[in-house]
Each structure stands twice: as C-alpha cells, then as structure tokens.
Amino acid sequence: MVDAALSELDSQWLRKWIEECFGWARVIGGMRKSRFVGREKLDFPFVLTMSAYNLVRMRNPGALGLQKRVSNASFR
C-alpha cells in the first residue's frame, strides 16, 4: 500500500512538471495561437519553443524544485 501511494505521488509530480512545460510554451513561447495549421508546419515552431524552454530551465535548475525533489528521495 505504501509503494502504491509513493508511485501515485511521483505520478502527480511528473504530471505537474510536464504541464509546466506546455504551459510555458502556450503563455511565453507563443504557442497559444498558432500561425500554422497541420502537424508538419507546426513541428519546427514547437521544437524551437521547447528548445528555448530547455535553455531557460538549464539557466536555473532550482526553479522547478528538482534539487528539493532529489534530496527528499534519499529519505524513502
């Protein structure tokens, strides 16, 4: 039972982390209103936006709470 609860917490944390990426892409990256229609035409702007997000994230690794998450994992 304890293992199932921990994996559910991990799943919720991972979902929040993924939603932050797509939220950033919509609000700051300009993906809310696309100028293009179709998967082929949206591929490059999406990759470019997510690359910019990765650069922002690499600039400040503590912003997402990854250091806190890793330090709490040692107590499990």
DSSP collapsed to 3 states, 10-75: HHHHHHHHHHHHHHHHHHCCCCCCCCCCCHHHHHHHHHHHHHHHHHHHHHCHHHHCHHHHHHHHCC
Q: Quick one: pLDDT at residue 4? A: 65
Count of the separate structural domains present in the chain:
1
pLDDT above 60: residue 73:
no
CA angle at residue 6 from 15 to 10, to 5 degrees? 20
Question: Domain residues for 65?
Answer: 2-73
Q: Which residue has the higher pLDDT, 61 or 27?
A: 27
Query: Cα(75)–Cα(57) distance, rounded to whole angstroms?
Result: 26
- So what's the pLDDT on residue 33? 82
- Tokens matching residue 51: 């690359």
